[in-house]
Amino acid sequence: MTRDRKNLRDARRALLEGIGVPEPQPFAPDEFQLAAIRSVEEGRDTLVIAPTGAGKTFIAIEGIRRAVSQGKRAIYTAPLKALSNTKYAEMKQLFEPHYRVGLLTGDRKIETDADIVVATTEIYRNDLYNYGATYSVVILDELHYLADPQRGPVWEESIILSPKEATLLMLSASISNSAEIAAWIEQVRGAPVEVIAEATRPVELRMGFLHPDHGVLPLEGANGKVFGEVAQFYAQGGGGRGGFRARRGKGASPGRGGRSGRGRRRKSRSGS
């Protein structure tokens, strides 16, 4: 049975309370960040596993900063063109005019001989085949793509073909077999890999559900079970007036052109 509106408002308030922009505080790197930066600076291949929002990008930026300050070059690779474009804009803001920043994707090539290059992982791999590489620090973001059936070989080849004198900084939020991956990297590159794992999530994760009749609700109740209205929604085959199938019949469909369920699914494009 649906609880009264006051109880729903209280549940919604408990879910959303405290969400927003926190008060500014002095920044102090966490120990795992400092350990990773030291490892890269000392020339060791480094694998960092930490939750989203824990500060892996800070490690990458500091690794780049310390490399270019010594006259070396660095490359930051990302799985998607959109992400590469975003990182390119960020790097330009951080490092120019003191250092040049370039971009290398399947669509755009900007100052590819720059001190710092941002690229898609596929294009970096292709360059290793075609031209070799002249980077001292190579950052491979989203390393969990190693497990992807289609794109995993790109990350494998990027690791295998990167020059032995380059230092790899590999980042991921979702690798569970880090020891196994590190052992394989050590085998193919012939050098030890420093594994730095951080389990603490600095940003609290709350799970909510957008209900068609009641708005935002918590996904789980205080008892740890699925929130009553959410469970009821699914028990009714999609919930609400007439259920999910009836809603589809009225045209509320994700299909293309408003047709009920007839939209063709597009294949995802690679980040090359």
In a domain, 13, yes or no: no
Ranges of H-type helices in 22-146:
31-41, 56-68, 81-95, 121-130
The domain spanning residue 113 has which CATH number? Answer: 3.40.50.300
Model pTM score: 0.74
Amino acid residing at 133: A
What pairing do the DSSP bridges indicate for beta strands 215-218 and 208-211?
Answer: antiparallel
- Pair 156, 243 in one domain: no
Same domain? For 220 and 168 the reply is no
Q: In terms of domains, do 235 and 127 share one?
A: no
Give the number of domains in the chain.
2
Residue 263 lies inside a defined structural domain of this protein: no
Indicate the burial class of 80 (C-beta count within 10 angstroms; 0-12, 13-18, 19 or more): middle
Q: What is the pLDDT along the chain (272 residues), one digit of tens a residue?
A: 456 778 888 888 888 887 877 788 888 999 999 999 999 999 999 999 999 889 999 999 999 999 999 999 999 999 999 999 999 999 999 999 999 999 999 999 999 999 999 999 999 999 998 877 789 999 999 999 999 999 999 999 999 999 999 999 999 998 889 999 999 999 999 999 999 999 888 777 788 898 888 888 898 888 888 888 888 888 887 644 444 334 434 333 334 333 333 333 344 444 44
Q: Is residue 256 part of a domain?
A: no
- Domain carrying residue 210: 206-251
Contact 124, 163 (CB under 8 A): no
Whether residue 169 sits in one domain with residue 233: no
